[in-house]
Chain A
Amino acid sequence: MDELPKSIVDPQSDRDAGEQPTEPLTPWQRWGELLIAATVLGLGALALTGAQDIRVSASAVQVSPRLIPQIIGVGLLVVGGWYTVEIIRRPYTGHGEESEDFDPGAKTDWTVLAIIAAGLVCYAILMEFAGFVTASAALFFISALAMGSRSYLRDAAIAIALAVAIFLVFDTWLGVRLPTGVFGEWLSL
């Protein structure tokens, strides 16, 4: 699978290298966008095969319930293919819009993303077992830490205060049920 796009991409970038003053694409720039296209193609295949599992009733009056999934499946394959061609011909080389929060010159910071991802996994695991308050406070603290906040005590205090406040407003006051976990007994007082 890996060989096909590479053999198409490489001669192209070699040919353009002489004319383009811009720096060569990083592997991430090249493969990241193809990842989107590959997912679109994969979803197309999934929609077509999954459509076969839908039962079709004997009565011919109804339109086959497989039809729309099949149309969308074919659409995904066509669009995915078109996108792949587009990426190979004209890869997106932009770096995003500059703003006060966003630094387009900065390299993608994968460590930050990995820690936040760990925080999110923590959140999903803690939610049912330890309750909304614990899970939210942990997620808040971990992701603030990941993004460079170093006021540990302040962050921990805000994390707990925010989580408790959300719980009181939504669960206790507005009646949107949230998991209580270990805090069940004294939060529901």
Chain B
Amino acid sequence: MDAFGNLIDGFGVALTPENLLFALIGVFLGTFVGVLPGIGPALTVALLLPVTYTLEPVSAFIMFAGIYYGGMYGGSTTSILLNTPGESASIITAIEGNQMAKRGRGATALATAAIGSFVAGTIATLGLTLVAPAMAEIALNFGPWEYFALMILAFTTVATLLGSSMVRGLVSLFLGLAIGLVGIDALTGQPRFTFGNQHLLSGVDVVTVAVGLFAVGETFWIASHMRRDKSRVHKVSGSKWMTREDWRRSWKPWLRGTALGFPIGSLPAGGAEIPTFLSYTVEKKLTKHPEEFGKGAIEGVAGPEAANNASAAGVLVPLLTLGLPTSATAAIMLAAFQRYDLNPGPQLFDTNPDLVWGLIASLYIGNLMLLVLNLPLVGLWVKLLSIPRPLLYAGILVFAGLGTWAQSQSVTGLVVLYVIGVFGYLMRRFDVPVGPAVVAVILGPKAEVQFRRALQITQGDYTEFVTRPISGSILAIALLAFFGPVIWRGYRSRTGTRITTA
């Protein structure tokens, strides 16, 4: 098969001693930073981006793949032992996993999460290997209409499916779109919304936005409500790895989580959150131990963790084949590609097969490395959790500044970072999700280019967006995703009132 031939070539690239070393450094750094409380996968990737700036593209992305998966593993350790989910996809793991840790089963929770992540990550990477080339093949026929429609679909789903309310998701989305306007108009080359500041000509970088919202905003948030009594890290020692019974109860949730995570993650619509929530609901329904749910049920860790990792691999399908990021982490990965003047999309598979297949091959390798790294070394990672919080968050601020400076080389960049950080704080305070803003910053300008290109081809005829079958149907789905929840809620509340009045 073609995909496997390419994959073998990819392993040829990834298995050179140098690239193996980069993969190892990547997974190590990814886990290290991902374990730190308050730092989720998106921020891990953003903060570690400068490390890859001076590497060759292939090596950089092999390291990047390691950082991506490592950040996911590290995040689940923090969720289980400290109940600080770095991002919404880890909330479920935090619920059941932290309960297990409180009951002295921390090591078991970590083990089922790590092995589940390995199983799910490997199966989902296999899925990526098979689906991505086929998807790229289809995408070769896409014109600007289809790309624009896909981006609109990504916008609507990312904004409406996340967070507590639709309007808050849209607020976040439009803040991101507004930030994305700053810079040079891609088609006419003139500056806009730069306020005469030459440092704003290149626009506001998505890394600055992500670091501002996730690192600076989060630090403000925690610092202003810091717990004064001693942090309580649950001990791992003393409890056993998985028993036979634990294995028996874990393997099906792992597979079910994968089956939910990969397909949903690979849709060109947003989110790792939905599969993890779905997996939790499914496991709660199917379990023979319903009384344990909410008090540390192993299925409630195994399933969602697997779903989370499987969807992380799934997200790479639209990212690599369409250039479409559907999560904050993917948005930062796209920024990394753009730094090397690489445009993810169907052409990337033809122009840079070394890079694409080297990256995919190193996902398999990184996954295996992470399993080996995580099970025996977990004691080392747990030590990181007891870093005094003032020092930890002070360090996060320093690294946030470093990341922004490395990107912008200007005080303007730092000012932008702080303003966005203040906003991150406000959004955190009032439960406005930050993910949609991060995705919109990088995807907004891309959508604009496709929109205007499409209209140039049709000489201003808008109907083409709707009459072309693929773009028309995608737009219809986007419309449904937008109005569906509203209609559903309206219907439910109407039937709800009918029941109460009857």
Chain A residues packing against B (C-beta within 8 Å): 32-33, 35-37, 39-40, 43, 46-47, 50-51, 53-55, 57, 61-63, 65, 67-69, 72, 75-76, 79-80, 82-83, 86, 92, 94, 96, 98-104, 106, 108-110, 112-113, 116-117, 119-120, 123-124, 127-128, 132, 135-136, 139-141, 143-149, 155, 158-159, 162-163, 166, 170, 174-179
A124 adjacent to B171 (CB under 8 Å): no
Q: Which residue of A lies closest to B421 (CB)?
A: A120
The stretch of B8-16, B200-208, B395-403 in contact with A is: B395-403
B297 at the interface (CB under 8 A from A): no
With A99-B83, A101-B84, A162-B395 known as contacts, the answer to whether A170 contacts B406 (CB < 8 A) is yes
The B interface is mostly helix, strand or loop, or mixed, namely helix
With A100-B231, A101-B38, A170-B50 known as contacts, the answer to whether A147 contacts B393 (CB < 8 A) is yes
A147 adjacent to B394 (CB under 8 Å): yes
User: A158–B398 Cα gap in the complex (Å)?
Assistant: 12
B174 adjacent to A68 (CB under 8 Å): no
1/0 per residue, CB under 8 A from A, across B157-181: the answer is 0000000010110110011011001
Which residues does chain B contribute within 8 Å of A117, judged by CB atoms? 418
B401 adjacent to A63 (CB under 8 Å): no
A136 adjacent to B430 (CB under 8 Å): no
B391 at the interface (CB under 8 A from A): yes
Which residues does chain A contribute within 8 Å of B33, judged by CB atoms? none
A76 adjacent to B394 (CB under 8 Å): no
B185 adjacent to A65 (CB under 8 Å): yes
Which residues does chain A contribute within 8 Å of B190, judged by CB atoms? 54-55, 65
Q: Which residue of A lies closest to B81 (CB)?
A: A100
User: A132–B430 Cα gap in the complex (Å)?
Assistant: 34
- CB within 8 Å of A: which of B43-93? 50-51, 53-54, 82-85
B330 to chain A, nearest CB (A): 22
With A36-B432, A83-B171 known as contacts, the answer to whether A47 contacts B181 (CB < 8 A) is yes
Which residues does chain B contribute within 8 Å of A72, judged by CB atoms? 174, 177-178, 181, 444
Which residues does chain A contribute within 8 Å of B181, judged by CB atoms? 47, 68-69, 72
Q: Which residue of A lies closest to B391 (CB)?
A: A144
User: A171–B403 Cα gap in the complex (Å)?
Assistant: 13
Which residues does chain A contribute within 8 Å of B220, judged by CB atoms? 113, 116
Report the 9 A-B pairs with minimum CB-CB distance, sorted nearest first. Answer: A147-B390, A149-B390, A144-B394, A143-B394, A103-B227, A144-B390, A175-B54, A124-B414, A33-B430
A-B contact pairs, 30 of them (CB 8 A): A40-B174, A46-B193, A54-B185, A57-B188, A62-B452, A65-B185, A65-B452, A68-B451, A75-B177, A76-B174, A76-B177, A79-B171, A86-B167, A100-B83, A101-B222, A102-B225, A103-B227, A109-B225, A112-B223, A112-B224, A120-B397, A124-B411, A140-B397, A141-B394, A162-B395, A166-B399, A170-B51, A175-B54, A176-B50, A176-B53
Chain B residues packing against A (C-beta within 8 Å): 37-38, 50-51, 53-54, 82-85, 165, 167-168, 170-171, 174-175, 177-178, 181, 185, 187-188, 190, 192-193, 216, 219-228, 231-233, 388-391, 393-395, 397-399, 401-402, 405-406, 409, 411, 414-415, 418, 423, 426-432, 444, 448, 451-452, 455-456, 459-460
A82 to chain B, nearest CB (A): 5
User: A149–B228 Cα gap in the complex (Å)?
Assistant: 11
User: A86–B220 Cα gap in the complex (Å)?
Assistant: 26
B398 adjacent to A99 (CB under 8 Å): no
A50 adjacent to B192 (CB under 8 Å): yes
Which residues does chain B contribute within 8 Å of A110, judged by CB atoms? 224
Q: How many pairs of residues, A versus B, come closer than 8 Å at their CB atoms?
A: 233
Which residues does chain B contribute within 8 Å of A112, judged by CB atoms? 223-224, 226
Which residues does chain A contribute within 8 Å of B216, judged by CB atoms? 120
User: A129–B460 Cα gap in the complex (Å)?
Assistant: 52
B405 adjacent to A178 (CB under 8 Å): yes
A36 adjacent to B177 (CB under 8 Å): no
The A interface is mostly helix, strand or loop, or mixed, namely helix
Which residues does chain A contribute within 8 Å of B390, judged by CB atoms? 143-149
Which residues does chain A contribute within 8 Å of B460, judged by CB atoms? 63
Which residues does chain A contribute within 8 Å of B415, judged by CB atoms? 124
B233 to chain A, nearest CB (A): 7
Which residues does chain B contribute within 8 Å of A179, judged by CB atoms? 405
A35 adjacent to B426 (CB under 8 Å): yes
Which residues does chain B contribute within 8 Å of A47, judged by CB atoms? 178, 181, 193
User: A39–B423 Cα gap in the complex (Å)?
Assistant: 10
With A53-B192, A65-B190, A120-B397 known as contacts, the answer to whether A92 contacts B405 (CB < 8 A) is no
A109 adjacent to B414 (CB under 8 Å): no
Which residues does chain B contribute within 8 Å of A51, judged by CB atoms? 192
A79 adjacent to B426 (CB under 8 Å): no
A96 adjacent to B225 (CB under 8 Å): yes
A47 to chain B, nearest CB (A): 6
B225 adjacent to A104 (CB under 8 Å): yes
- Of the candidates A62, A109, A113, A146, which one forms a contact with B188 in the assembled complex, judged by CB atoms under 8 Å apart? A62
Which residues does chain B contribute within 8 Å of A65, judged by CB atoms? 185, 187-188, 190, 192, 452
Assuming A32-B429, A113-B220, A127-B411, what are 5 further A-B pairs, CB within 8 angstroms? A36-B426, A72-B178, A143-B393, A148-B226, A155-B391
Q: Which residue of B lies closest to A154 (CB)?
A: B391
Q: Which residue of A lies closest to B422 (CB)?
A: A117
User: A101–B98 Cα gap in the complex (Å)?
Assistant: 14
User: A100–B395 Cα gap in the complex (Å)?
Assistant: 19
A147 adjacent to B175 (CB under 8 Å): no
Q: Which residue of B lies closest to A36 (CB)?
A: B426
